[in-house]
Amino acid sequence: MAQHHGGRPPNPRSVLLAEVAQATQRLADAGVPSPRTDAEELAAYLHGVKRGELHTVPDADFDARYWEVVARREAREPLQHITGLAYFRYLELQVGPGVFVPRPETESVVGWAIDAVRAMDVVEPCIVDLCTGSGAIALALAQEVPRSRVYAVELSEDALKWTRRNMEGSRVELRQGDALTAFPDLDGQVDLVVSNPPYIPLTEWEYVAPEARDHDPQLALFSGEDGLDLIRGLERTAHRLLRPGGVVVVEHADTQGGQVPWIFTEERGWADAADHPDLNNRPRFATARKAMP
């Protein structure tokens, strides 16, 4: 047990919080975007407490393995790969090598989609998530739109190991397959199609954060010279799946805000194509409505 002198009560904050401060500096020096948050998350994960409870960990319980996980984060291994968890809206998802780690920006995509479905006034809305990855979008919609029928598709077997874990016990219908040819049995019946597809241009490879470039699956990141190859294909898929008046929501890079709505043109059977910002006010997703015949 830690000794203390001079009649003062022991300060349970001292050791762990001092180590967290040191870890924060190390992560900042390594270029980690949110060093303090990550240092605290790693400490909480290793000591089995919440971030707000770090001060309750007694000095004697400090776990020296903390420095092993800090070193992994310092090397730009994603925080979520180290803890095995990603948080998305009201969900706790299992993630790791082979599956794309869901990002906070995508939460605003889902928020818009939920509002759009509720505004439709359909009793049991039919929703399709293309390129589902961890299942974050499909599961959030199933949870927050209680009477919806949600379908999801993922191509990668490596990703599906995680998707299946996350969707176990949920009412999402998951299929393995290509997003471009998925769900022919639902053609013309879907109220909402949503996707966070790969959209990084191949030319941008060297500028991608190491957490994504070195750890997220390439299949989930890159899509042709301008990053829009798959989105062009998904435009046709969405048009095939949606009923007239149904809505498509597609995430894109903040640099593609001016380009994506132009894929959903009136000539191709769309109306109301528009772009929307995320919480940081950067262009983040495009929406369009399938035109009435």
Pairwise CA distance, residues 137 & 105, whole Å: 12
What residues contact 147, with CB distance under 8 A and at least 6 apart?
Answer: 123, 124, 125
196 labelled catalytic:
yes
Catalytic residue among 125, 197, 198, 283: 197
Catalytic residue among 78, 196, 283, 285: 196
Catalytic residue among 88, 100, 183, 222: 100
210 labelled catalytic:
no
On whether the CB atoms of residues 152 and 173 are closer than 8 A, the answer is yes
197 labelled catalytic:
yes
Pairwise CA distance, residues 227 & 101, whole Å: 19
What residues contact 171, with CB distance under 8 A and at least 6 apart?
Answer: 142, 150
Closest CA to 236 of 151, 179, 153: 179
By annotation, the residues acting in catalysis are 100, 196-197
